Amino acid sequence: MILSIEGMFKFLLILFLLFTQQTFSQIDELKRRTKTLCSPDFHGRGYVNKGDSIAAEFLKTEFQNIGVKPYYESYFQSFNLDVNTFPNEMEIYYEGKLLKPGIDFLINPNSSGRVGKLKLYEIGVNDALIVDSLKSFIQNLFSINHIEDPAVLFDMTLVSSDTVKLLRQVASKLAMFIPVVEIVNDKFTWSVGLDELFLPYIQIQENCINNDGVLSLNIYSEMHINYECRNVIGYIPSKKNNAKTIIFTAHYDHLGKMGNDTYFPGANDNASGTAMIFSLAEYFKENPSNFNIMFVAFAGEEAGLVGSKYFVENSILDLKNIRFVINLDIMGSGEDGITIVNGSLFDKEFSIMNQINKSELLVKEIKKRGPSANSDHYWFSQKGVPAFFIYTRGPNKHYHDIFDTYDSLSFAESIDIIRLLIQFVNQL
């Protein structure tokens, strides 16, 4: 049958409308999953109120709704870790003024809680970095009769970044014996604490504090030993027998809460990457590959890549049968392109990715990086499994702070990245 020009135009229009409708559906679902994962109901996907477990159950349900089955009987792979948390009060007053958590101050993630007052005593750089001077300073503090408990104050605002690193090593050791406070003027960045110091360790922005005075604390901490976490795993078998496996991974955990009211949404890091592996699951469910396709949403990444380490060391499949691992982390923008960690290790696969991008004009640029232990690809690489870690680049610089929200994401290249990854798998 030969179509007229008018018929051909109608045919192409229908194809365009179907393609556009599918694209809108993809981005809508991607945004829905991202927004849900970083909502207050998930408590920052950390260890307060079992936010990580709430997220794990949500991801299991998403796999079920898509029709993606577990690899064995369960979607979950459980493991344990020790973690310090701040589930209740989080109040600090400086000279009677209430400070805002996450904005004016951060509590060190390994810090213990405290109710009471701290009198601040500043230590100079030389006294802090010379053992005898530090020892003398601390002895003098304990020889004074205090109304309030003493705390050592480090002013980090006028020293180099290298000196700050040295001072923080000293401060961390001191916080086992005496409370520590830092004055800072850089961006707050929080993390997960795996140990508990005996005493408080606090960072305060310089516009909120002088180099002396009194802090009033009402902070509660709770250390969890052998806290249970769960990797969430879905699987789509190949249409071929004896096929190798492609694994798409992303960590779904984040930093959780710092007190009752302050939580870290983790939209870019990494609700965005987690949502993207579910978009890929939808595609490969409808379009089976010549590879088996596994999807692993890792827990415990922010606690030191614990979930991926457990997966690799207790693998549910033979690592030799893995063709490639593609780890997605920080996938919420892309205006400036993407970066591929391990790109320099796997030139052939990087070239495939780059050629697809040049041909299809998908993302602005693909940068190549060498190996790094900065996300869940690392343990696979250590075992000789070929793996990429891909992240987006763009104007959004929120990272491990309370401002990494859903509204801060642009999703500028999300659909193009999904297309790039699908074609990459098809060309391997």
The predicted structure's pLDDT at residue 64: 98
Contacts of 123 (CB under 8 A, 6+ apart): 134, 137, 152, 153, 154
Taking only the tens place, the pLDDT of each residue in 237-277 is: 998 988 999 999 999 999 999 999 999 999 999 999 999 99
Taking only the tens place, the pLDDT of each residue in 79-107 is: 999 999 999 999 999 999 999 999 999 99
- Mean pLDDT within 319-344: 98
The structure tokens listed for 134 are 């530090």
Angle (CA) 23-24-29 rounded to 5° is 100
The predicted structure's pLDDT at residue 19: 45
The structure tokens listed for 345 are 């290790």
The predicted structure's pLDDT at residue 20: 44
Q: What is the pLDDT of the chain when averaged over all its residues?
A: 93
Taking only the tens place, the pLDDT of each residue in 168-220 is: 999 999 999 999 999 999 999 999 999 988 899 999 999 999 999 999 999 99
Is pLDDT above 90 for 387? yes
The structure tokens listed for 388 are 């990429």
The predicted structure's pLDDT at residue 239: 86
- Please state the separation of Cα 333 from the chain's center in Å: 15
- Name the pLDDT band for 22 (thresholds 50, 70, 90): low
Closest CA to 277 of 73, 44, 62: 62
Taking only the tens place, the pLDDT of each residue in 199-213 is: 999 999 999 999 999
CATH topology of domain 28-83+224-427: Aminopeptidase (3.40.630)
Is pLDDT above 90 for 6? no
- Which amino acid is present at 148? E
The predicted structure's pLDDT at residue 15: 40
User: Which phi and psi angles does 413 have, rounded to 5°?
Assistant: -125, 20
CATH topology of domain 89-219: Glucose Oxidase; domain 1 (3.50.30)
The predicted structure's pLDDT at residue 18: 41
- Which amino acid is present at 339? T
- Mean pLDDT within 49-69: 98
Q: HSE-up of 242 (CA within 13 Å, CB side)?
A: 0
The predicted structure's pLDDT at residue 1: 46
The structure tokens listed for 366 are 């693909």
The predicted structure's pLDDT at residue 23: 55
The structure tokens listed for 77 are 């792979």
Residue that wins the pLDDT comparison between 363 and 17: 363
Rounded to whole angstroms, what are the CA distances from 347 to 192, 244, 328, 342?
A: 35, 20, 19, 9
Taking only the tens place, the pLDDT of each residue in 103-124 is: 999 999 999 999 999 999 999 9
Stretch(es) of the chain classified as CATH 3.40.630.10: 28-83+224-427
Is pLDDT above 80 for 16? no
Distance from C-alpha of 26 to C-alpha of 36, rounded to nearest angstrom: 16
- Name the pLDDT band for 25 (thresholds 50, 70, 90): confident
Taking only the tens place, the pLDDT of each residue in 148-174 is: 899 999 999 989 999 999 999 999 999
